[in-house]
Amino acid sequence: MTAVGSVDVEAELIGWLDTVLNVRVLTDLPADLGSILPVVQVQRVGGYDDGFRLDRALVDIDVYAATREAASALMAQTRSKLLTELRGVATDTAVFTVARTVAAPAWRPYENPALRRFGASFEIYCHPVS
């Protein structure tokens, strides 16, 4: 039997979002963030499991862009993809079953005033393929 938590939710979401959004998706922000915009950042911030197979990950997603309009549009696109297309997606190691918004998209402060950051939190259910 596969162990609970054996799915790397961050890695799986990054791979999938990179494909469907066609922008850079990562966990750690690079020092040259301003030169590679737009960027989507995925970070698991908690969650829980059923003790058997199902992982219920709490994931923060932040988008970074040069303008408010671009950041808002990218967050709207990201949220739409998660809520309407992720359910049923199977990768080599994971199956996604539920995606829901926990904290709606909102502006989040960022120390560089030349960049705009928009973020939301999602609950993502997944389990190993086997």
Going along the chain from its start, the domains and CATH numbers come out as 9-128 (3.30.2000.30)
* CA–CA dist 10, 62 (Å, integer): 13
- The answer to whether residues 12 and 93 touch, using CB atoms and an 8 Å cutoff, is yes
Q: Which pLDDT band holds residue 2 (cuts at 50, 70, 90)?
A: low
**Do the bridges between strand 116-128 and strand 94-107 make them parallel or antiparallel, or are there none, so unpaired?**
antiparallel
pLDDT tens readout for residues 42-73: 999 999 988 888 999 999 999 999 999 999 99
- The answer to whether residues 42 and 14 touch, using CB atoms and an 8 Å cutoff, is yes
pLDDT at 49: 87
In the chain, the amino acid numbered 49 is: D
